Amino acid sequence: MSLPDSVVVDTNVGIVANLTTGVSPECALSCVRALRNITEGGHLTLDANGLICAEYRRYLSMAGQPGTGDAFVRWVHDNQYNADLCTLIPLTAIGEESFAEFPADEGLVNFDRADRKFVSVSAAHPDSPPIQVALDRGWVQYADALAAAGVVVHFLCPADASDRT
């Protein structure tokens, strides 16, 4: 039995799925569906260093409620070491919030340091799983450079994201 396709999930997907931001109903529903696809039979890729999980916990409730993003962070906490559900990729830190696995591409020099862990995990994984993103102007700005470096970004809210550029 093969594993389902894995994804990396930016924290903003969980935040939007909690329905606490001013986004379109389509955007919120897209984020809810994306997280449910993972928790109901998908596969998540995280860093073995625990940096992504720590960021999830900073912005989402470990109680697992009241929102879908909170339920997702609880699922991640409970399942991060279950290889059938999650893959953990070790990252090599270089200074603060930068990693050896981050693509050495001139077009990414100014990419947000706080989001480099997501890119580094995708880049270091043998299958380069896509990164799911809800709203973040930085991801939109660097989408072409990321693609050139072999990192695919799936924008769950393309209309909302383009409104914020």
Is residue 1 domain-resident? no
Is residue 109 domain-resident? yes
Is residue 113 domain-resident? yes
Q: What pLDDT was estimated at residue 4? A: 57
Q: What pLDDT was estimated at residue 84? A: 96
Give me the chain's average pLDDT, please. 91
The whole domain housing 122 covers: 6-163
Is residue 137 domain-resident? yes
Is residue 22 domain-resident? yes
CATH number of the domain that residue 42 is part of: 3.40.50
pLDDT of 163 above 60: no
Phi, psi of 115, deg, nearest 5: -100, 0
What tens digit of pLDDT does each residue of 39-48 get?
999 999 999 9
Is residue 114 domain-resident? yes
Residue 120 burial (CB count, 10 A):
27
pTM given for the model: 0.93
Rounded average pLDDT over 126-133 = 96
In our burial notation (b when 16+ CB lie closer than 10 A, e otherwise), range 139-165 reads bbebbebbeebebebbbbbeebbeeee
Closest to 123 in 3D by CA, of 147, 157, 142, 144: 147
The lowest-confidence range among 27-36, 94-103, 144-153 is 94-103
With cut-offs at 50, 70 and 90, classify the pLDDT of residue 21.
confident
| Overall number of domains in the chain | 1
